Structure 1
């Protein structure tokens, strides 16, 4: 398993799992029914994007960068997606570890995840294992396809 900077040429490999994750309706608030071109624009929005390759296939991706511009740019953020066929093999953990180190290397003071769906237990557990804490939960802020309206955790990791 290796991680490298993504290029636009990786989008055809990312798109199928990006679409599947979003259309499942349980972890991301992107609009349902997005076209590949719309989704590509959201994923490659000026953020630093990486892919995880395993045996020559792209099995996951993350995007990262400042959480806010200007005076908030010392705090980073990231988003992650893993192909369903590759889940349970440590892809998300490798991406998470990479993202934390990338933010450290870039001189960020902290990382803030703005919207971790509280029912996404695998992600919440992973981020807590990597040192993130829940600093608050916005009640009923996400309309989960499976669970109805659930909270969104704001999670934070101090890199100091």
Structure 2
């Protein structure tokens, strides 16, 4: 048997970084495509979001004062995925952050990009000693996303039945999940 060179990890050349102003058009294009192709996976609807200008997503740029950021995954100039975190500034709940949006393009699914985005977001969040909880909601029928979140340590603490009503009449539940960042 001949020894072969190791096969590079499919994400080896993927760059993870915080979103900048210049990234807004690419972010909007990814988001619009994901909302259009996966209406049952997102709370936002494609038609409403498509009408928004790219500049309307400036609020998702990193802001050290509010601990809000969007982490992007790029490869060869193409945006493959994004994950957005925000935190409420009210003092009684300032120890909580919320994952409010995560997506990986269809072409990049199954390559570990979602996991890399999650791992990097958790690394960034754990640097802030004020934070102890990370929450999210996910469409209960989105098995791939639920597996990703459970694999990262999230636990389901509830279900909001009938949370989403789709234009075709389907009604979907949302699972509410939490991850303890520290005790």
CA–CA separation in structure 1 for the residues paired with 2:123 and 2:169: 33
1:109 to 119, 127, 132: 132
Structure number with higher relative contact order (C-alpha < 8 Å, ≥ 6 residues apart)? 1
Question: For residues 125 and 141 of structure 1, do their structure 2 counterparts lie closer, same or farther at Cα, with a shift above 3 Å needed?
Answer: same
Residues 1:52 and 2:73 are matched in the alignment: yes
TM-score relative to the length of structure 2: 0.77
Structure 1 gap segments, 5+ residues each? none
Question: For residues 144 and 92 of structure 1, do their structure 2 counterparts lie closer, same or farther at Cα, with a shift above 3 Å needed?
Answer: farther
Alignment of structure 1 residues 37-48 onto 2, 5 Å: 37=53, 40-42=55-57, 44-45=59-60, 47-48=68-69
Alignment of structure 1 residues 1-160 onto 2, 5 Å: 1-23=14-36, 24-33=38-47, 34=49, 35-37=51-53, 40-42=55-57, 44-45=59-60, 47-66=68-87, 68-70=88-90, 71-78=92-99, 79-107=101-129, 108-113=131-136, 115-144=137-166, 148-160=170-182
2:24·2:57 contact (CA, 8 Å) conserved in 1? no
TM-score relative to the length of structure 1: 0.88
CA–CA separation in structure 2 for the residues paired with 1:30 and 1:156: 21
1:11·1:40 contact (CA, 8 Å) conserved in 2? yes
Moved segments of 4+, more than 4 Å: 144-147
1:6·1:51 contact (CA, 8 Å) conserved in 2? yes
Question: For residues 53 and 110 of structure 1, do their structure 2 counterparts lie closer, same or farther at Cα, with a shift above 3 Å needed?
Answer: same
Q: How big is the shift at 1:65?
A: 2.3
Structure 2 gap segments, 5+ residues each? 1-13, 62-67
Aligned-residue Cα RMSD (Å) equals: 2.0
1:27·1:144 contact (CA, 8 Å) conserved in 2? no
1:53·1:60 contact (CA, 8 Å) conserved in 2? yes
Bigger radius of gyration among the two: 2
Question: For residues 49 and 121 of structure 1, do their structure 2 counterparts lie closer, same or farther at Cα, with a shift above 3 Å needed?
Answer: same
